Amino acid sequence: MKSMRMDLEKTVRLNDSQYQQYVYGSADVVGLMCLTVLCKGRTMRPHEKLKSPAMAFGVSFSESEFFKGF
């Protein structure tokens, strides 16, 4: 929710820490939600193995949307 609240603020630039925090709350979690759906009914072992790539997928999708907006 913190990332969503950050969207309401008129911040022109984020420092690296703020950006990472924003990305986790807005993009990483999208990848994790996709992973949860795709791994439904499977053991946690594959889910844990795919956690980092799923988060990277969420970030890449989100960043491509940012660039599309420019």
53 has a pLDDT exceeding 90: yes
> In this structure, what token pair is assigned to residue 38?
């795709």
Q: How confident is the model at residue 27 (pLDDT cuts 50, 70, 90)?
A: confident
Residue 67 identity (one-letter amino acid) = F
Give pLDDT, residue 40: 81
pTM score: 0.66
Spatial separation of the C-alpha atoms in residues 53 and 59, rounded to whole Å? 10
Q: Whole-angstrom distance between the N-terminal and C-terminal Cα of the chain?
A: 25
- Rounded mean pLDDT, 39-63: 83
